[in-house]
Amino acid sequence: MIKPVMLTEPTFSPHSLNKYASLMTLGNGYMGIRASHEEAYTLQTRGMYLAGLYHRAGKGEINELVNLPDIVGVEITLNGEIFSLTSGAIEHWQRELDFASGELRRTLTWRAPGGARFTIESRRFASAQKLPLFAMEVTITPLDADASIVISTGIDATMTNHGRQHLDETQVRVFGQHLLQGIYTTQDNRSDIAISSYCGVDGDAQRCFTAKERRLLQHNSVQAKAGQRVTLTKMSWIDWTTELHTSYETWGRQSLRHLEACVQQGYDALLAESTANWQEWWQGRRVQVSSSDEADQRALDFALYHLRVMTPEHDERSSIAAKGLTGEGYKGHIFWDTEVFLLPFHLFTEPKTARSLLRYRWHNLPGAREKARRNGWQGALFPWESARSGEEETPEFAAINIRTGLRQKVASAQAEHHLVADIAWAVINYWHATGDMQFMSREGMALLLETAKFWISRAVMVNKRLEIHDVIGPDEYTEHVNNNAFTNYMAGYNVEQALHFARQLGCSDETFIHRAEHFLQHLWRPEVQQDGVLPQDDTFLSKPAIDLSKYKVKAGKQTILLDYSRAEVNEMQILKQADVVMLTYMLPEQFSPQTCLANLRFYEPRTIHDSSLSKAIHGIVAARCGDSAQGYRFWREGAQIDLGDDPHSCDDGIHAAATGAIWLGAIQGFAGVSVRHGELHLDPALPEHWQTLTFPLRWQGIDLQITLNATEIHITSTAQINLWVNGTNVCVQGASVVRYGSFMTSKIGTATTERGDE
Amino acid sequence: MIKPVMLTEPTFSPHSLNKYASLMTLGNGYMGIRASHEEAYTLQTRGMYLAGLYHRAGKGEINELVNLPDIVGVEITLNGEIFSLTSGAIEHWQRELDFASGELRRTLTWRAPGGARFTIESRRFASAQKLPLFAMEVTITPLDADASIVISTGIDATMTNHGRQHLDETQVRVFGQHLLQGIYTTQDNRSDIAISSYCGVDGDAQRCFTAKERRLLQHNSVQAKAGQRVTLTKMSWIDWTTELHTSYETWGRQSLRHLEACVQQGYDALLAESTANWQEWWQGRRVQVSSSDEADQRALDFALYHLRVMTPEHDERSSIAAKGLTGEGYKGHIFWDTEVFLLPFHLFTEPKTARSLLRYRWHNLPGAREKARRNGWQGALFPWESARSGEEETPEFAAINIRTGLRQKVASAQAEHHLVADIAWAVINYWHATGDMQFMSREGMALLLETAKFWISRAVMVNKRLEIHDVIGPDEYTEHVNNNAFTNYMAGYNVEQALHFARQLGCSDETFIHRAEHFLQHLWRPEVQQDGVLPQDDTFLSKPAIDLSKYKVKAGKQTILLDYSRAEVNEMQILKQADVVMLTYMLPEQFSPQTCLANLRFYEPRTIHDSSLSKAIHGIVAARCGDSAQGYRFWREGAQIDLGDDPHSCDDGIHAAATGAIWLGAIQGFAGVSVRHGELHLDPALPEHWQTLTFPLRWQGIDLQITLNATEIHITSTAQINLWVNGTNVCVQGASVVRYGSFMTSKIGTATTERGDE
């Protein structure tokens, strides 16, 4: 049995309520439920979200992930005192999220202000097996004397997104003594949500229901003996649909039947079934590290846990939000983060999931075509931020400047076009990892063609070459520049690959082939200078540089903007994240190790790392350049974005991309996994803190289990496979050992080696 | 200087947060601001409402008083600990609402969980002089050691009505170092609200602003010495309009200018100005009682305070909501409560206000005509519940039955038609109190004619008499009956008075005059039986009676509905409030004292008093019948509806009508003020607990000051006036004394007496 590390919350603090509510979010890709406590706190933000369920609350607002009616809250009154950890005293405290089972547990002993002591235990999970199921138990034990206990819980539809209401209350019902149901409809009438809850309190509970002011509640009163355990079991079934083909009554009854079947099974059986599902999942994905710092293993387990719960693999009309399903940051929108930071994990572990995420883009090609058309271009210009429909969801204007009252147009939606090539890049990665020609000939080809056509129309002929003007690269501190290296190279790669597949698949669109050839012949790709530096864009190198150290120590907080306006930042060598470093990460076969290193050395001092995407990529490139010490430093700092000490760093949700980057850093950085010319490479560079690194990898349908240490690689493969280790071609099958330096496989294996030509 | 009693909150309790937030609401008829604490509590409902500002939040919802962005909340962090009275310890506590000035004050000493002690003082008021102004001060003093203090406050637009959002955020701005402004628009685009706040913290505060997730906040950090007082002064100016004729910028600037002028004046000067206004107000209205129970004076001062703050005398398009501006109960709708329970206070103290409230109905005649038309009747059928537009706001269906999933049609809006006659009755009362012929010839006549026409069309000819079928009287436990005595008598009074004024004013509508005469000739008015009992309706007396004592002890909680269905209650002699008793109160000249007494004795045992309107009226009728002991008992119980011990009785707002009834009970009950045949009567019946009762009364433009005791009445009058004391006609001018029994005026007066003919 795989036993990932647990995430623990060391102490109760009103200051970190929302941090842990995000970090410990339960979910299964279908739903995400923040780990708010059962009892209410003024600063605690509750949240339950369903992947793909967005709505716009009013004029001037934007489509956002809907915060659904709450089912976690339980008001507990003990001898007339409302249970809250801000009053009385905590005599024992333990809270942990068990990554092995996805169960969140809390055990505490509370001394009420009146002096009586109670043990309060709770546990809950979102089922990995039955996606709409959320189960919880709360057990209260009076320790010193008999006590009167009142437990109120139900479905609380007073929830909003910070005051923005999305749902109308369509119907609320109670069935029998234990079942509550609320059916809600988004105010645009497009989505219906049915929330059904079973609430059972053991013992001789007196029970009543209230339905008032959008709260449907069951109230239970129990007279408990000292030492008697009083348990609330609550199970909820959450259905939603955009196409209700039956009556609310029939639909509601179906939900109830599912819920009743779960109640029959009971909490423990449901948890066992969900844990088994998790175990199987971990089996094919867990990354194990023996490190001098146990936080490293926790970071990896944390990352993988969230990579699962954020991913709507059940629904190809949804993708992964920037905060997953853990909070309302970025309104739950989908960015390039998915393709670049999250997709690789799925590509190398469960490519079907990667395919589903790419099909999300494919389904949304109409919106992307429309956006290109509206801006005077051809092909597909994917929206910078998207939700369910694939339309551009980026607000037209940024938050108002409260000083001037003016709103600034959001530049990213206007000019941050590299996303188009990033999606094409992900399609190619999928092809390499799977060889899935069925996908390539339909969705893959459509995506490649439409994205390539965009670039072809986007470039302008200047100085007898095709230039790409007025863009923003991943470095958002440098706006509206010409010939951004990242963008031009990625656009070139996009068109080149589209042309390659067009020819391979016998595309009859001669115009495209002709235009693509012309584009590739004339596209200007900024050139590496003598000193090895690739200019970020036409003007970057001519701008003045300043000392950034005071801003770098506060990386992520954008403190530079307190001293300089955005316009001033734009005119200096100040990077949020380094474009060119990112480029060498994404297209490793196009740049020599010397170039990678030169650019890392040049750009990193000019980079504040104010983007949560920055450090991880710098870390990988540093590791690839052989500087695993710097790589490790960056990797650790990246892991700290959510797991670090800042009590508010992830109040509005974890950083999904940074989570993906924890896996990327280990696998692509320290294990040195990369794909070059379609082939799998391992160039390990373990940091000195790590003795071994073990991980599974799926490659073209073959399952590999890889263990690295400072001197050798153990590989177990389900089939014969060719790969490159430190530039040497190796063929492995079954269990093999490859020693660095010797490049001889050990006796137990059947690998053969061949020196690479690179 | 008049010094009304203060209302104090004896102790801090999380259970009574909302009770005191309602009881201590600040306001001025324009705005009402619940007395929530500066610091947040999970169970505390904040609320700021503007008279007449209603909106509907979505499908299936109804128009409701909009809960506006919050300006009261202040987050106070002391040495890193968030100030909250649920943590740490309270070493001193004082909270009081000063009715003399309308200022709410709190002083407390708090020992933080870390041990440091702080004094926290706050005071606030809504200006009686400048209606859009709300001012507050919060002073923090570290007692034992230097402390770091962080104060965050501003405009918080995450507020909703229990999850129902009404406002879009149109514009948020910050000006200079101290001014914040938010402009909000109802989602139906009909109303704009501008909230401007000045926030100033003295000392060397470091300051910054944030605008995020509908919260516009100023954050102040101060390092305070032990003993140093750190004061936040916050002043807010709240404008709203349904007809914005200028740009948001211009409108916002105007608001700011008003606010800046207030800041110039300063808190103390603004309070002095507002207090002077209150003093003048109390001068013409305060009722003073010397009672063996000081709670009686507090109840009277409480009632008068609220009668002022609930009344939008500045705006005749608004009227008084069932909970005033103190909470969201009854959605802020307007019922017959206004005309019957609240108008008399204004009639006898400031008839201009009564006129404004009647003009509210007059403005809304179109909606009332439309409702009559839609139901197949003529004239004006006023909506059972109304808001700003005068349209029927009663939800078509009552709250869903959570057991059956069915919704029942709300019967009141269909059949509780007596409201029409109640409004006519109030018009006549206005005429008697003022002799305002200008009003009568226009608004008064229109109201009388249209209401009379409704009744004429509403009656049906049966058994050669006009009957009124299928109505609900004030007793809502008896639905859909024929010839409800209350309704038939009031309808008769309505048509009779309309006919009288039509003739007096030379109305040329001969058809109406003819039809009214016919109606009055044939209208069936149920007859008093031999035993003196007037049958409530055609069938009531034939229904079985049950013992109601167990329900009567829980009056107001509708516990009868836990044992019997509404249909079952309808078929028994069970009254929510007694119709016939109410009728003898409203039309005293139509019933002999014997009849009044017989009906009180018959109906009271059959009455649960589940309506908050019930006991007060029974008390007045009992006093009029000479039973001042029972009258006092009922009056006290009526006063307890809000002021009693139940910590949740007024969570969603005080009972406006019950508040009006406290005044009614004293003046119409114990002082025995009534108007019969247009003349002013005093029939004092002081309860034995009361030694004297002093009150001002305005009658036909003359100001009277009246003091009663067990033996005599002192009257001071600004002009010669005829009135009836215990059935004897008295003429007074200047200062007079009338002794009961002798009916001789004392030497200091000039009153002459004449034996009445009744």
Asked if residue B460 has pLDDT above 60, the reply is yes
- The DSSP line for A230-250 is EEEEEEEEEEEES---S-HHH
Contact between chains at B164 and A214 (C-beta distance less than 8 A): yes
Residue among B84, B165, B172 whose CB faces A165 most closely: B165
Distance between CA atoms of B461 and B466, rounded to whole angstroms? Answer: 4
Give the residue among B406, B553, B537 at the shortest CA–CA distance from B477.
B537
Q: For residue range B398-426, what is the model confidence (pLDDT) as tens digits?
A: 666 777 777 777 788 889 999 999 999 99
In 3D space, the residue among A153, A178, A179, A156 whose CA is nearest the CA of residue A169 turns out to be A156
Q: Which residues of B touch A214 (CB under 8 A)?
A: 162-164
What distance lies between CA B637 and its chain's CA centroid?
A: 18
**Residue whose structure tokens are 């004592």:** B549
Measured between alpha carbons, how far is A310 from A298 in angstroms, rounded to an integer? 18
- Which residues of chain A lie closer than 8 angstroms to B214, CB-CB? 162-164
Q: Which residue of A has its CA nearest to B398?
A: A212
Q: How far is the C-alpha of A179 from the C-alpha of A177, rounded, in Å?
A: 6
In this structure, what token pair is assigned to residue A67? Answer: 């915060």
pLDDT reported for residue B397: 72
Catalytic residue (one of B476, B479, B604, B712): B476
Cβ burial of A717 (10 Å; 0-12, 13-18, 19+) is buried
Chain B environment of A41 (Cβ under 8 Å): 42
- Closest-CA distance of chain A to residue B178, Å: 12
CB A407 within 8 A of CB A418: no
Query: Chain A partners of B40 at a C-beta cutoff of 8 Å?
Result: 42-43
- The bridge status of strand B712-725 relative to strand B679-682 is parallel
pLDDT on residue B646: 93
Q: Letter for the amino acid at B575?
A: L
Could you report the predicted ipTM of this complex, rounded to two decimals? 0.90
**Number of alpha carbons in the 13 Å side-chain half-sphere of residue B139:** 13
Using an 8 Å Cβ cutoff, are A158 and B43 in contact? no
Residue B345 bridge partners (DSSP): none
CA-based nearest residue in chain B for residue A67? B163
φ/ψ (deg, to 5) at B343: -60, -40
B residues 25-44 lying closer than 8 A (beta carbon) to A:
40-43
Which run of H or of E encompasses A699?
Answer: strand A690-699
Going through B143-282 in order, the beta strands assigned E by DSSP cover 147-156, 167-175, 179-186, 192-201, 206-212, 215-224, 230-241
B671 vs B674: CA distance, rounded Å = 9
Report the distance separating Cα A390 and Cα A379, nearest Å.
15
Residues A402, B172: C-beta atoms closer than 8 Å: yes
Based on its alpha-carbon atoms, the radius of gyration of chain B, rounded to whole angstroms, reads 27
The answer to whether the beta carbons of residues B417 and B432 sit under 8 Å apart is no
d(CA B14, CA B39): 12
Identity of residue B656 = A
Q: What is the C-alpha separation between A747 and A701, in angstroms, rounded?
A: 26
| Residue B498 near residue B490 (C-beta atoms within 8 A) | no
Distance in angstroms (rounded) separating the CA atoms of residues A151 and A166: 28
Q: Which two tokens stand for residue A562?
A: 């307190």
Q: Which residue of A has its CA nearest to B45?
A: A42
Return the ∠ at Cα B695 (arms to B694 and B696), rounded to 5°.
Answer: 145
**Rounded CA separation B745/A236 (Å):** 79
**Cross-chain residue pair B174–A402, CB shorter than 8 Å:** yes
Nearest to B127 by CA among B316, B265, B241: B265
Could you report the per-residue pLDDT of A614-662, keeping only the tens digit for each?
Answer: 999 999 999 999 999 999 999 999 999 999 999 999 999 999 999 999 9
Q: Which positions of chain A have pLDDT values less than 70?
A: 398-400, 741-758
Judge whether A513 and A496 are in contact, CB under 8 Å: no
Asked if B171 has any chain A CB less than 8 Å from its own CB, the reply is yes
Q: Which of B660, B671, B736, B724 is nearest to B697 (CA)?
A: B671
Structure pTM?
0.93
Measured over the CA atoms of residue A130, residue A131, residue A132 and residue A138, the dihedral's sign is: positive
Q: Please give the mean pLDDT across all residues of chain B.
A: 94
Contact criterion met (CB below 8 Å) for B148 and B79: yes
Q: Do B160 and A158 touch (CB under 8 A)?
A: yes
* Secondary structure class of B339 (helix, strand, coil): helix
Expressed in angstroms, the distance from the first to the final Cα of chain A is 41
Closest CA to B173 of B211, B134, B214, B133: B211
Catalytic member of A476, A604, A637, A712: A476
A contacts of B212 (beta carbons < 8 Å): 399
Which residue from A84, A170, A187 is facing B86, i.e. has the nearest CB?
A84
3-state secondary structure of B304: helix
A173 in contact with B, Cβ within 8 Å: yes
A408/B contact by beta carbon, under 8 A: no
Burial grade of A209 (CB within 10 A; 0-12, 13-18, 19 or more): middle
Q: Is B157 on the interface with A (CB under 8 A)?
A: yes
Residue B396 has pLDDT above 80, yes or no: no
- Minimal Cα distance from B84: which residue of A? A86
- CB distance from B249 to chain A under 8 Å? yes
- Please count the helices (runs of H) and the strands (runs of E) in chain A: 22, 29
Q: What is the largest CA-CA distance in chain B?
A: 89
Among A36, A65, A66, A86, the residue to mutate for chain B (most B Cβ within 10 A): A86
Question: Residue B757: which pLDDT band, with cuts at 50, 70 and 90?
Answer: very low
Candidate from A42, A168, A212 with C-beta closest to B58: A168
Task: Report the 10 Å Cβ neighbour count for A406.
Answer: 10
Q: Is A160 on the interface with B (CB under 8 A)?
A: yes
User: Which of A42, A163, A211 minimises the CB distance to B41?
Assistant: A42
pLDDT of residue B333: 97
Confidence (pLDDT) at A758 = 37
Asked if the C-beta of B290 comes within 8 angstroms of chain A's C-beta atoms, the answer is no
d(CA B423, nearest CA chain A) in Å: 31
The backbone torsions φ and ψ at residue B536, rounded to the nearest 5 degrees and listed phi first, read -60, -35
* Identity of the residue numbered B221: S
Any CB–CB contact under 8 A between B517 and chain A?
Answer: no
Q: Is A476 a catalytic residue?
A: yes
Strands B179-186 and B288-291: unpaired
Q: Do B84 and A165 touch (CB under 8 A)?
A: no
Residue of chain A whose Cα is closest to the Cα of B69: A163
